[in-house]
Structure formats: C-alpha cells, structure tokens
Structure 1
Amino acid sequence: MNILLWHVHGSWTTSFVQGPHTYLLPVTPDRGPDGLGRARTWDWPASVLELPPERLRTADIDLVVLQRPHEAALAEEWLGRRPGRDLPAVYLEHNAPHGAVPDTRHPAADRDDLLLVHVTHFNRLFWDSGSTRTAVIEHGIVDPGHRYTGRLARAAVVVNEPVRRGRTTGTDLLPALAAAAPLDVFGMGTEGLAGHLGLPPDRCRTQDLPQAELHRALADRRVYLHPVRWTSLGLSLLEAMHLGMPVVALATTEAVHAVPPGAGVLSTRPEELADAVRHYLDDPAAAVTDGFRARQAALDRYGLKRFLADWNHVIEEVCA
C-alpha cells in the first residue's frame, strides 16, 4: 500500500517505515515542518519516497496518516481529496493532552470517518475523544542491540528544549539530581542549560547528537535518568532500555507500565530518584544486572515485530 504521512516524529517514523509498504513523505524546497521529507539522521529504507506537493494530487494513495490538527486541511489542499471521506485515514496522536486535563478535547473528537490511534493506553484514557473510534498501538523500537558499558559514572538524560519546557520535562528537578550524579543531557535546545540551572559545567554537560552517535554515548553512561513529569512515553527511555541501561524515572504517565520491577527505579519522590542514581553509580554490577532486565522487558513489550504487526492489522481494517 501507498501511505502518505508527514515527517513529524523522527524516532517513531523510523520504526513505522520498516513495514512492507511504500511511504510517501511531502517535501518542500525549504524542508520546513510541512515538508521535511526523508530523515537526515536516521537510516530509512528505500521504500520511503519524497514527493513535492504538486505531485501529490495525482499520486496513488491508499491511506493518509494524520499527526497534527492542520494536516487534514493541508492534505485536502495538496491532494484534492479529503482524508476520511475520499481517502481512508487514521489520526495518530503522539502526545498526552495539555491544558484542562483530563477534560481536553482531542482535535479529532466526534469524527465518524477516521480511526484515532494513540501510542499509549494512558493517552487514550486522558484524551476526550468523544464518539471517535480509538485504538492503541504501543511503540516499537528498531533494536540498537545490547551496547551497555556503563564505563562513565554519569547519568544520561535525553530531552529536547528543557529550558523552554521547564516543569513539563522536569528541568527544575535536575539541580538536586545533579548532586547525586553528574549529568549528560542530550537533545535539541539544551545549550546553556547548566548556566540556567546554576550548575557548574562538570555537573551538567549538554550535547545534541545524531541517533547512531547518541546510542553509543548513552550506552557508556552508568544509568539513564528520565525526570519528565508529563509526556506520552519517551522513545529515548525505551531506546535506553534496549541498549541494556538501568533506568531511573518519575512514576508518571505510561512509565509505570514500561519499566517493570527489577529494570530500574520508579518513584514520584525526587529524593528516591536521587538515591537510586547514587546506588547505580556506586554498584556497577547492579547496574549491569538491572540493565539486562530492562532490555528484556523492552524487547518483550516494545519489539518492532509486534509494532508492525499491530499497524498492519489496523491498516488492513481501515483500508478494507
């Protein structure tokens, strides 16, 4: 099948395009948010094709995957066809709701012409989707392999724009956690974080790396730290588990199901997270053991084969 989707979430799309279909991605001259085309830092197969908007009107498309509220109107403009009416469509929701939670209405609420797919059961529970049919397809990860060394007695954090996003990403918790272990914070928009938090540079280093380099860097850190208060389910958390890292995370949103006992430490008390980080820094053997459990749990629940099978089932149902 030919599936049209926008390049919105690089890590998720990397898994999705491993399926047996042809994936059509809009590309514009400026490669802006509505026309990024193929990824530059992920390894995508040849079945991912770029098409400029002017070619989409005559393109053979079997399914449209919408991911942002404005994409329905954009698709109608570029295709001359309405997703959900003239073409089968699903709306994929990556995020937990913001605003008046749990009363936030989903942009695709009360629609009878598409299926709303959530990436976690938590998200489906908290979005008000009205009468729209919903499904949950949990994440699947392209396995990076067991790479954990833990040779650096530091904690790794992956977060984009931690200064702007503030309490949402748990940025305010980092100073106390940095007292337990020096932090290496990876992601976009992390420049100047140490100064913003009033931390010396050696306690909070930042870097933005391509995916392949990021995996190597994460695996060298002793523990993965996930201080995010409100998120869907960070793919970086699942990737760290695949790498064989023990994880320390806030017990919020879907993390309570993603990280089983023995794979790390979950708590809503920041001081317990700090104690757990110290434990792994002081006991490398425990970090290795719990990292093995984390990897097995991630492979069992968030493997690519299950993810693609779930999506193929939905695609066949919607396009039937």
Structure 2
Amino acid sequence: MNILLWHVHGAWTTAFVHGKHRYLVPVTDDRGPFGRGRARTYPWPDTVEEVTPDGLPAADVDVVVLQRPEELELAERWLHRRPGRDLPAVYVEHNTPMGDVPDTRHPMADRDDLRVAHVTHFNDLFWDCGSTRTAVVEHGIVEPRARYGGELPRLAIATNEPVRRRRVTGTDLMPRFAAVAPLDVFGMGTAGLPDALGLGAGWLRVHDDPPQAAMHEELARRRAYLHLCRWTSLGLSLIEAMTIGMPVLALATTEAVRAVPPDAGVLSTRVDDLVDAAHWLIEDPDEARRMGRRARSAALARHGLDRFLADWDHLLEEALCASR
C-alpha cells in the first residue's frame, strides 16, 4: 500500500512508518510545517520516501492519512485528486478538544467521505464528530533501547513548549516537585523555563530538543517520571518512560487513567498525593524499581508496536474497500 502522510508528530509517525507499506512524506525547500520530510532525530526505515509537491500528481498513492484540517485542501491541490472522493482518506485526531468542551465540534464533523481515527478513547468520547464515522487506534511505540537504572535521585519530565503552554502542561506545578528533588525537563521550547519559574540550576535543568535515543538514556537514569499535563491526549513520552521501566507519577486526567494501572504508578487529581509519592520514590529506590517493572509490563501489553500496526492495517484496508 502506498500511503501519503505529512510529518507532524515525530514519535507517532515513527511508529506508523514501521509498518509493511511504502510511505510518501511531503518535503519542501524550507522544510516548514507542511514539508518537513523525513525525521532527523528519529530512526525511520527506508520505506519512507520524501516527495515534493511537484512530484505528487504523478505519485502512486492508495490512501491519504490526514492530521490537520489544512491538509485536506493542500492534498487536493498537490495531488490534483480529492481525498475522500478520488482517494480513500483517514483523518487522525491527535489532540483533545479545545474550546467549548464537551460540545466542541470536530473540523471533520458530518462527513461521509472519510473516517476520523482518534488516538484515545477519551478523545473519541469528548470530540463531537457528528455523523462522521470514528474509530480508536491507541498509541503504539517503537520500544526504546534504554532500560531503567534510576540511580539519580531526580525527577524527569518530557514536554514541549512548557512556557507557552503553562497550565496545559502543568508547568505551574513544577516548583512543588522541585522542593522534593531536582527536576530535569526534556523537550522542545524548554530553554526559558528556569527563568519563567524562578528556579536555579540546582533545582531545574532543561534539555532542549535532545535526540530521541539520547533522551531515553537520560530519562532512564532518573528515579521517576512526572506527567503533569492537565489536558492532553496522551503523551507518548509517558508511554516511552513506562516502557523503559520508569515508575510514573501522573495527574489522573484524560487518558492517563487507562494508560497507567494502579500498580504501575501513582495517579491523583490531588497534587499533594503526587508530591508525597515523589518523596516516597526518591527515598525508596527498590520500590521505584518494582513499580517501574510493572509499568513496563503494562505499557508493552497495551502499546506494543505489533498491535498498533495491525490496528492501522485493518483501518486502512477498510478505507480501501469502502472506496471500491
């Protein structure tokens, strides 16, 4: 199968392109948001091919995977074919709804020419897609090579744009945990975080946009993983941390309550509970390791790559069959 998709979310796309198909990824001269091409910090297989907008009209495309509303018009203009009419199309919704929750209308609502694939059951529940058919394909990840050591009595967080997205990412909660143990924050747009929170280097270190494999190695050295997002679909970094074997402390919001079983971490909407649990794990590395082993087992069972790719194969075959 020849699949056209844009490079939007590096971790999700990395898992997706590890399937058995040929993947066409648009690339532009500026490698901007709609033409990033192949990933530079993630390992992608040779079955992922860059294609320019000029090359798309003649490209052999069986199905289009859309991820942003703008891609619908862009695909028609670049392909000279209409996704959903001339070509089967699936729209992947990565995000929780914003705005008038729980009445937020999805931009692909009330369409009969495509299907919306949500990455969590929470998103499927909260987005109003009207009459558009929906499905849920839960996240899968390429298993990180790093394994938990936990030798550093520090807490790790992986998040993007924590200054700009302050309350969404739980950035305002970080000082409460820095009072327990030093924090290491990994991700894009973290450079201004210490000044924004008024925390010195002794209590907060940032690692701005590290390569994925290097980040995993560093996460594995920290005692526990913090997931402080109030409103997010389900951070793939949380699943990656669990797969590495890290114990996790997470706000019991959105899909985290399904992703983290009770024996694989501590979840609560009461922040004091998580602060107390951070003290506990910092002081008890043996229990941290035991909890991390359970987290790894749970993550592998639910978010393994084989299950993810099989679910997507089934959904894409359905889209092809429906268009015939």
Cα pair 2:157 2:186 within 8 Å, conserved: yes
Q: Give the match for residue 244 of structure 1.
A: 245
Q: How many Å separate the matches in 1 of 2:146 and 2:212?
A: 15
User: % of aligned pairs identical?
Assistant: 67
1:217-228 equivalences under 5 Å are: 217-228=218-229
Does 2:136 match 1:136?
yes
1:1-320 equivalences under 5 Å are: 1-145=1-145, 147-208=147-208, 209-320=210-321
Q: Aligned AA for 1:122?
A: F
Q: Aligned AA for 1:132?
A: T
Q: How many Å separate the matches in 1 of 2:2 and 2:204?
A: 45
Q: Aligned AA for 2:265?
A: G
Shift of 1:267: 0.4
Shift of 1:195: 1.5
Q: How many Å separate the matches in 2 of 1:3 and 1:206?
A: 37
Cα pair 1:167 1:229 within 8 Å, conserved: yes
What is the CA deviation profile of residues 225-269 of structure 1, one whole-angstrom value per residue up to 9, with x for unaligned ones? 001100000000000000000000000000000000111100001
Shift of 1:185: 0.4
CA RMSD of aligned residues (A): 0.7
Cα pair 2:181 2:203 within 8 Å, conserved: yes
The alignment partner of 1:201 has SS state of coil
Shift of 1:78: 0.3
Structure 1, unmatched stretches of 5+, are none
Cα pair 1:146 1:242 within 8 Å, conserved: no
Q: Which stretch of structure 1 is more off in the superposition, 200-209 or 61-70? A: 200-209
The alignment partner of 1:239 has SS state of helix
What is the CA deviation profile of residues 1-21 of structure 1, one whole-angstrom value per residue up to 9, with x for unaligned ones? 000000000000000001000
What is the CA deviation profile of residues 16-42 of structure 1, one whole-angstrom value per residue up to 9, with x for unaligned ones? 001000000000011000000000000
The alignment partner of 2:263 has SS state of coil
Q: How many Å separate the matches in 1 of 2:66 and 2:3?
A: 11
The alignment partner of 1:262 has SS state of helix
Q: How many Å separate the matches in 1 of 2:89 and 2:138?
A: 19
The alignment partner of 2:224 has SS state of strand
TM-score, normalising length: structure 1: 0.99
Q: Which stretch of structure 1 is more off in the superposition, 248-257 or 143-152? A: 143-152
Shift of 1:110: 0.3
The alignment partner of 2:184 has SS state of strand
The alignment partner of 2:206 has SS state of strand
Cα pair 2:261 2:298 within 8 Å, conserved: yes
The alignment partner of 2:111 has SS state of coil
Cα pair 1:156 1:225 within 8 Å, conserved: yes
Q: Aligned AA for 2:290?
A: T
Shift of 1:213: 0.1
Q: How many Å separate the matches in 2 of 1:214 and 1:196?
A: 23
Aligned length: 320
Cα pair 2:146 2:216 within 8 Å, conserved: no
Cα pair 1:177 1:274 within 8 Å, conserved: yes
Shift of 1:173: 0.5
What is the CA deviation profile of residues 176-219 of structure 1, one whole-angstrom value per residue up to 9, with x for unaligned ones? 11111210000111112112111122111101210010000000
Cα pair 1:145 1:242 within 8 Å, conserved: no
Shift of 1:146: 5.7
Q: Aligned AA for 1:193?
A: L
The alignment partner of 1:68 has SS state of coil
The alignment partner of 2:65 has SS state of strand
Q: How many Å separate the matches in 2 of 1:22 and 1:157?
A: 34
What is the CA deviation profile of residues 156-178 of structure 1, one whole-angstrom value per residue up to 9, with x for unaligned ones? 00111101001000011111111
Q: How many Å separate the matches in 1 of 2:151 and 2:114?
A: 49
The 4+ residue runs of structure 1 with deviation greater than 3 A are: none
Structure 2, unmatched stretches of 5+, are none
What is the CA deviation profile of residues 283-318 of structure 1, one whole-angstrom value per residue up to 9, with x for unaligned ones? 000000000000000000000010000000001111
Shift of 1:70: 0.5
